[in-house]
Amino acid sequence: MFVVRLKDPSSEHLETLEAEAAPHAEIVRTVRLADDTFVLFRSEEAPDRWRDRLSSLPAVDSVHSVDTPYVLSSRVIRDQRTRLDIGKDVVIGSEEFVVMAGPCTVETETQVATIAHSVRASGARVLRGGAFKPRTSPFSFQGRGLEGLDILSHAGRKAGLLQVSEAMCEEEVGDVASAVDILQVGMRNGLNYSLLEAIGRHPDQPAVLLKRGIGSTIDEFLAAADYILAGGNPNVILCLRGTVDFSKHSRSSLNVADIPALRRLTHLPILVDPSHAAGHRDLVPAMSAAALVAGADGLLIEVHHEPDRAWVDGPQSLTLEGFSHLMNRLRLLAPAMGRWVAPGVVCETDSLHPMEELDLEKPSRDRGNDTAALQGHEELQA
Binding site for ligand PEP (CB under 6 A): 104, 130, 134, 166, 186-188, 211, 241, 273, 276
CB atoms within 10 A of CB 55: 12
CB under 5 to 8 A by kind: which of ligand PEP, Mn ion, none does 226 bind? none
CB of 62 or CB of 319, closer to Mn ion: 319
Contact present, 228 and 236 (Cβ < 8 Å): yes
CB of 266 or CB of 317, closer to ligand PEP: 317
CB of 273 or CB of 379, closer to ligand PEP: 273
Of residues 95, 160, 94, 97, the one with CA closest to residue 127: 160
User: What is the distance between the alpha carbons of residues 87 and 180, in angstroms, rounded to a whole number?
Assistant: 11
Cβ 31 to ligand PEP shortest distance, Å: 27
Cβ 228 to ligand PEP shortest distance, Å: 16
CB under 5 to 8 A by kind: which of ligand PEP, Mn ion, none does 181 bind? none
Of all residues in the shown chain, the one whose CB is closest to ligand PEP is 186
Cβ 301 to ligand PEP shortest distance, Å: 10
CB under 5 to 8 A by kind: which of Mn ion, ligand PEP, none does 158 bind? none
Q: Rule CB under 5 A: which residues touch Mn ion? A: 104, 313
Cβ 271 to Mn ion shortest distance, Å: 15
Of residues 170, 180, 86, the one with CA closest to residue 131: 180
CB of 193 or CB of 338, closer to ligand PEP: 193
CB under 5 to 8 A by kind: which of ligand PEP, Mn ion, none does 186 bind? ligand PEP
CB of 157 or CB of 276, closer to ligand PEP: 276
Cβ 152 to ligand PEP shortest distance, Å: 12
Cβ 131 to ligand PEP shortest distance, Å: 10
CB of 142 or CB of 205, closer to ligand PEP: 142
